[in-house]
A and B are shown apart, each in its own frame.
Chain A
Amino acid sequence: MLNHFKTTMTIPLQKAQTGRMYKVVTVSGTDVQAQRIRELGVVLGAELIVLRRHPFGGPLEIQLATRKIGIRLGSVHVVVEPVAENPEPLQGSVH
């Protein structure tokens, strides 16, 4: 029951709503690629905000703690879940 609830809440990072805080649930892919994404700080439990999603499957602009990174996931799958029911958009207000 709980599992079912969880899977409906989690979404791929590409589908994340912009300006909202998410928590990373899984990072999967071939070892080297997933490793690199994790080394940049997109690790299990990390909280992030998608600032902007570029059109036509372009890269994502992500705020990760105090850092801002651009990322094209390639074949790496990052799954996230929303952190809290926070209706306020958080864009640009994170320190």
Chain B
Amino acid sequence: MTSGKTVALVGTPNVGKSTLFNALTGLRQRVGNFPGVTVEPMVGTVVTPEGSINLIDLPGVYSLDPASEDERLTIETLQGKHHSIPRPDAVLLVISSVDLEKCLALYAALSSLNIPVLCCLTMVDALKAGGGMIDDIGMGHELGVTIIPVVGSKGLGIQDVKHALAQPLRIPRAPDIGDSVESRLKWAQGLVSRFVKPAAERALTRWLDKILLHPVWGTLVFISVMYFFFQSIFAWAEPLMELVENSFGWLQTWVGTMDMHPLLASFLSNGIIGGVGSLLVFLPQILILNLLITILEESGYLARGAFLVDRAMGVFGLQGRSFIPLLGSFACAIPGIMAARVIPSYRDRIATIMAAPLMTCSARLPVYVLIIAAVIPNTTIAGVFSLQGTVLAGLYVLGAISGLLIALVLKRTALRGSVVPFMIEFPEYRLPSLKNIGTVLFSRARDFVVATFTVIMGFSVVLWIFTQLPQATIPEGTSEVQAQHIQLEQSYAADIGKAIQPFFEPLGFDWRITIGVLTSYGARETFVSTMGQMYAADVADTDSSLRSILPEKFSLATGLSLLVYYVYALQCISTIIVMRRETATWKWPALAFAITFVLAYALSALTYALAG
């Protein structure tokens, strides 16, 4: 059945390329597995009655002269010069009716490559809504290429494209023009003036932009939108995360009631179910963050927001599009790092990804709250500000500034390069397509689960082995809290904690804290439950006995040092895996781990020395 044909999806940025890719391939898409590729393109399967076709979604380009790593990949692939991506059999070029000059200039450049081309004309609905018209048949005739109008979000024309892709395609004849940007644009302008009646700028877009791009009002709206954005992640994700946690807690209890060897029951409940649960608990935040970003992007607002915040991000060597991934990282670095895909420049994307893990994620919050309650007195500064609240806010600021400074240093050193000018096109405002959002959400969730499943499960099993073995003998009638305490005290983890503890001595960590820090690598909030087991205390949310015990166990210096350690240390295996997945190399996660570890160790030791 398969024709085995490979087609490259090509277009300039902002022409509806990814919407078309989603409409053509649906859920049959995966990350391309090409060795040694820094920016892994998505590959999808287009099912046609004539057989299936591989569609590679290549990064957007304007011409055959690359300005970034992403563009170089596209151009080398099309030229057949790429070291691991084979040359496609044909090109599916996406051209936008509302921005046709730019698209036709790319067409002119591509026509010199001697490769068959099919053109897909998008945004015809937007053009018509603005009173414009286009003679796509006449233009196709003039160019000697098939042009198929589509509305990707509504699925119109998609079947025609699939059918045409399965047929033999024509190699376009190159227009007889010079090889300069100016000559290609001039040629494109000539064509547009003959075949297109342009749309009037929509009054809505003009009116909205007067406010939304205004330096003062636009900024105020932007801050409000971001506030809502940030609140929604927490407000919507929390009940869902609780639901996941409770369901898996219920499963664990259920396994406990079954008639089997206690060791097997413990392995199933803590090792396996606990592992799957700690993976799935990330999903609500990943889905919600991606939902909000896709809505912002599709509606056209993301481009405006990035424009407004560009100057401020420029101070740290980043650009406007870095803002949303970093803001999202305050909920969880994983969706934040995945969201960095919206940044077209490779260097800026890496710098953003490296800064993301230092934003205070929601997993750090329970740790901060516990330690602050234990060591910071519950008083007020100047009679108004709570000292505990101020310290908490200070930790958020410390993390954010440190992350941005790391990005700045990297942009000045490892990621130094010519400053690519920041350019953003403002598309017309439009309603997002539900179908496209659904496809994006599903594929993001799948990407995360596929990338992290093995490692999280492995870590969970290893953690189980070290904390539950060798099995301690628990006397009859011991409470569950007490039983967990006895088990942990006698486990391999306790031996390891005691063996490693001298290394953390300069930071003021005893062997119990050392184990808490080590178990945090699965997920930071594990620190709270580990401390609970260490001191045989329950860790219920509000008036836990752990909170009343800890002030006696932690000195101020140890508490502060521990807080600083959690601000910096990259204690999250899932984040490391996702960094590897998004940068396609171990180099960046390894560097991030090393930098943050050195900072965490040195600054915690300094804090302990100063406060002690």
When chains A and B are docked, how far (Å) is the Cα of A65 from the Cα of B198?
A: 10
Contact, CB under 8 Å: B62 / A39: yes
Q: A35-B65, A40-B102, A59-B311 are in contact. Are A95 and B181 (CB under 8 A)?
A: no
Interface hits, A8-60 → B, CB 8 Å: 30, 32-33, 35-41, 43-45, 52, 54-59
When chains A and B are docked, how far (Å) is the Cα of A55 from the Cα of B310?
A: 12
CB of A25 to closest CB in B, whole Å: 13
When chains A and B are docked, how far (Å) is the Cα of A80 from the Cα of B215?
A: 24
Q: For this complex, into which size category does the number of interface residues on chain B fall?
A: 35 or more
Q: A66-B198, A74-B420 are in contact. Are A54 and B425 (CB under 8 A)?
A: no
Interface hits, B22-52 → A, CB 8 Å: none
Confirm or deny: B206 has a beta carbon within 8 angstroms of a beta carbon on chain A: yes
Residues of A within 8 A of B169 (CB): none
Residues of A within 8 A of B199 (CB): 66
CB-CB nearest in chain A for B203: A92
Give B196-225 as 1s and 0s: 1 = Cβ < 8 Å from A's Cβ atoms: 001111000010010001110000000000
Give A55-87 as 1s and 0s: 1 = Cβ < 8 Å from B's Cβ atoms: 111110100011111111111100000000000
CB-CB nearest in chain B for A95: B200
Contact, CB under 8 Å: A41 / B185: yes
Residues of A within 8 A of B185 (CB): 41, 43
CB of A65 to closest CB in B, whole Å: 7
Contact, CB under 8 Å: A59 / B310: yes
Contact, CB under 8 Å: B426 / A70: yes
Residues of A within 8 A of B264 (CB): none
When chains A and B are docked, how far (Å) is the Cα of A39 from the Cα of B109?
A: 12
Contact, CB under 8 Å: A69 / B424: yes
Confirm or deny: B67 has a beta carbon within 8 angstroms of a beta carbon on chain A: yes
Contact, CB under 8 Å: B426 / A68: yes
CB-CB nearest in chain A for B310: A59
When chains A and B are docked, how far (Å) is the Cα of A65 from the Cα of B201?
A: 11
Contact, CB under 8 Å: A32 / B102: no
Contact, CB under 8 Å: B310 / A32: no
When chains A and B are docked, how far (Å) is the Cα of A43 from the Cα of B185?
A: 9
CB of A23 to closest CB in B, whole Å: 14
Contact, CB under 8 Å: B101 / A69: no
Chain A interface residue count, CB cutoff 8 Å, equals 36
Contact, CB under 8 Å: A38 / B310: no
Confirm or deny: B142 has a beta carbon within 8 angstroms of a beta carbon on chain A: no
When chains A and B are docked, how far (Å) is the Cα of A32 from the Cα of B62?
A: 12
Residues of B within 8 A of A39 (CB): 62-63, 102, 105, 181
CB-CB nearest in chain A for B109: A39
CB-CB nearest in chain B for A72: B422
Contact, CB under 8 Å: B213 / A58: no
When chains A and B are docked, how far (Å) is the Cα of A35 from the Cα of B98?
A: 22
CB of A88 to closest CB in B, whole Å: 18
CB of A77 to closest CB in B, whole Å: 11
Contact, CB under 8 Å: A74 / B206: no
When chains A and B are docked, how far (Å) is the Cα of A92 from the Cα of B98?
A: 17
Confirm or deny: B419 has a beta carbon within 8 angstroms of a beta carbon on chain A: yes
Contact, CB under 8 Å: A74 / B425: no
Confirm or deny: B307 has a beta carbon within 8 angstroms of a beta carbon on chain A: yes
Residues of A within 8 A of B214 (CB): 52
Q: A33-B418, A74-B419 are in contact. Are A69 and B425 (CB under 8 A)?
A: yes
Q: A32-B65, A56-B311, A95-B201 are in contact. Are A61 and B419 (CB under 8 A)?
A: no
Q: Can you list 25 A-B contacts (CB < 8 A)? A: A32-B65, A32-B418, A32-B420, A33-B67, A33-B419, A33-B420, A36-B62, A36-B67, A38-B182, A39-B63, A39-B105, A41-B185, A43-B181, A43-B182, A58-B215, A58-B310, A58-B311, A59-B310, A67-B99, A69-B425, A70-B307, A70-B423, A70-B425, A72-B314, A92-B206
Known: A58-B310, A58-B311. 19 other contacts (CB 8 A): A30-B418, A32-B420, A36-B421, A39-B63, A40-B425, A43-B181, A52-B213, A52-B214, A55-B215, A56-B311, A61-B213, A66-B199, A67-B102, A68-B426, A69-B426, A70-B422, A72-B421, A74-B421, A75-B419
